Structure 1
Amino acid sequence: MFKNKITAKSLLRLAILSVIFFLGVYFIPHNWCAREAGTVFRNDGGIQGKMARQAEKMLSDDLGRNNFKTGSDLFNGEWLFGTYMMSGMGFGQMALMHPDRADEYLPHMEECIRKIQDPYVREFDKKSWGDDPIESLDRGSEHAAFLGYYNLLLSFHRLLDNGSEFSKLNDRITEVLAARLDKSPFLLLQSYPSEWYPVDNCAVFASIGLYDRATGSDHSRLLNLCMTKLRNEYTDPRSGLLYQSIDGNNGKMLDAPRGSGTCLGLYFLSFSEPSISRSLYVSAKRELQGGLLGFGGMKEYPASEKGGFGDIDSGPVIFGYGVSPTGFMIAGTRIHDDYGLFRKLYSTAYLCGSPCDSGGRRNFATGGHIGNAIMFVVMTAPSEKILEDFCARRIK
Structure 2
Amino acid sequence: MRNVGSNPVVTNTIPESKPTLLPLKRFLPRSLSLVIAATLFLAGIWLIPHRWCAREGRAWYTGDAALQQKLARGVERWVSTDLSRQHFKTGSHQFNGEWLFGTYMMAGMGFGQTVIEHPEWRTHHIELMGACIERVLTPQVREFDKETWDNDPLETLDSDSDHAAFLGYFNLLLSFHRFLDPNSKYAALNDRITAALVRRLEKSPLLLLRSYPSEIYPVDNCAVIGSIGLYDRATGADHRDLLRRWGNRCRSSYIDAKTHLLYQCINSETGAPADEPRGSGTCLGLYFLSFADPSLSKELFQAARSELGRSLLGFGVVREFPASVHDGVGDIDSGPILFGYGFSATGFSIGACRIHRDAEYFSRLYSTAYLFGAPFDHDGSRDFVTGGPLGNALLFAMLTAQPDLGVTKRNGP
For the criterion TM > 0.5, the same-fold answer is yes
Q: Alignment partner for residue 128 of structure 2, among 84, 87, 108?
A: 108
Within-5 A mapping of 1:114-129: 114-129=134-149
Asked if structure 2 preserves the Cα contact closer than 8 Å seen for 1:191 and 1:200, the reply is yes
Matched residue, 1:161: 181
Length, aligned pairs only: 369
Q: Does 1:58 align with 2:78?
A: yes
Q: Which amino acid aligns with 1:49?
A: Q
Larger gyration radius, structure 1 or structure 2: 1
Q: SS of 1:190's equivalent?
A: coil
- Give the structure with the higher percent helix: 1
- Return the offset for 1:74: 1.3
Q: For residue 163 of structure 1, report the CA deviation from its aligned partner.
A: 0.4
Q: Which runs of structure 2 are paired with 1:279-298 in the superposition (5 Å)?
A: 279-298=299-318
8 Å Cα contact 1:27/1:294 also seen in 2 = no
The letter for the 2-side match of 1:285 is R
Paired-residue identity, %: 56
SS, match of residue 246 in structure 1: coil
Structure 1 residue 117, shift from structure 2 partner? 0.2
User: Does 1:381 pair with 2:401?
Assistant: yes
- List aligned pairs for 1:239-388, cutoff 5 A: 239-384=259-404, 388=407
| 1:56 CA displacement | 1.1
- 4+ residue runs over 2 A deviation: 25-28
| Distance (whole Å) between structure 2 residues aligned to residue 225 and residue 307 of structure 1 | 34
| Alpha-carbon separation, structure 1, partners of 2:161 and 2:406 | 33
Letter in 2 for 1:391: K
Whole-angstrom distance in 1 between the partners of 2:367 and 2:187: 40
Displacement of 1:248 in angstroms is: 1.1
Q: TM-score if structure 2 supplies the norm length? A: 0.87
Distance 1:393 1:171, change over 3 A: closer
Structure 1 segment 21-32 matched on structure 2, within 5 A: 29-32=49-52
Cα distance in 1, alignment partners of residues 55 and 297 from structure 2: 28
Match of 2:105 among 85, 94, 106: 85
- For 1:337, give the aligned amino acid: R
SS of the aligned residue for 1:137 comes to: coil
- CA 1:147–1:392: 2 relative to 1, 3 Å: closer
Distance in 2, Cα, partners of 1:57 & 1:393: 26
Superposed, which structure 2 residues align to 1:208-247 within 5 Å?
A: 208-247=228-267
2:180 and 2:411 in contact (8 A); partners too: no
Q: Does residue 33 of structure 2 align to residue 37 of structure 1?
A: no
> Take 1:282 and 1:39, find their aligned partners in 2: how far apart are those partners?
24
Alpha-carbon deviations, 1:149-207, whole Å to 9, x = none? 00000001111001000000000000000000000000000001100000000000110
Give the AA of the match of 1:142.
Answer: D
Map of 1:143 onto structure 2: 163
The CA distance in 1 between the partners of 2:180 and 2:283, in whole Å, is 25
> What secondary structure, in the 3-state scheme, does the structure 1 residue paired with 2:401 have?
coil
1:369 and 1:153 map into 2 onto residues whose CA distance is 18
Measured against aligned partners, the alpha-carbon deviations of 1:291-342 in whole angstroms (never above 9, x if no partner) come to 3110010000001222422111111111101011000000000001100110
RMSD: 1.5
Aligned partner of 1:252: which letter? A
Q: Which runs of 5 or more residues in structure 2 are unaligned? A: 1-44
1:133 maps to amino acid: P
What TM-score do the two structures reach when normalised by structure 1? 0.91
Find the residue that maps to 1:283 and give its secondary structure. Answer: helix
Q: CA deviation at 1:28?
A: 6.9
Asked if the contact 2:113/2:401 (under 8 Å) is kept, the reply is: yes
